[in-house]
Structure 1
Amino acid sequence: MALFKGRKYAIFIGAFVGFIGLTLYPIALSPMIDASEYKKIQKETRKNIKQEDIQPGNMKVWTDPFGRKKPDNNE
């Protein structure tokens, strides 16, 4: 049984880590870098759904809690 030593061991570990990186790129990194394709798919699949109609328990539809409030025009 031959064991990797020195340079061959470093090449083996580098190739193994590189293989894992190449395998995970299209699964994990690519969607985080460019989400436009997934946004397009989501828009297409949800175009006939009214969120107010399917909201459970008459709960308010989610809004951004950090959004700026609209100023009153009465002042």
Structure 2
Amino acid sequence: MHLTGWKYYAALLGGCTGVLGVVFYPIFIYPMMHVDEYKKIQEYNRRGIKQEEIQPGGMRVWSDPFDRK
């Protein structure tokens, strides 16, 4: 079957949208929907590391600037 006219453009647009969806899902969507899983992974990877000791140049450890004191 040979696509011409609007069917060609609809297939092309649908294909591009599908490819972008497949590419962006594991990068952006999955991590935002499974935040707790990524927090556990980060906690596991950073165990035993004291951030104050490895902070370069005697700088203060990062804190949330919008957090109330």
Q: Is the TM-score greater than 0.5?
A: yes
Residue segments in structure 1 that go unaligned for 5+ positions in a row: 70-75
| TM-score, structure 1 as length reference | 0.66
Give the match for residue 24 of structure 1.
Answer: 24
CA RMSD of aligned residues (A): 2.2
- Consecutive aligned runs of 4 or more in structure 1 exceeding 4 Å deviation: none
Residue segments in structure 2 that go unaligned for 5+ positions in a row: none
| TM-score, structure 2 as length reference | 0.70
More helix by share: 2
Aligned residues: 68
Q: Percent identity?
A: 50
Give me the whole-angstrom Cα distance separating, in 2, the residues matched to 1:64 and 1:8: 50
Give the match for residue 57 of structure 2.
Answer: 57
Give me the whole-angstrom Cα distance separating, in 1, the residues matched to 2:17 and 2:64: 40
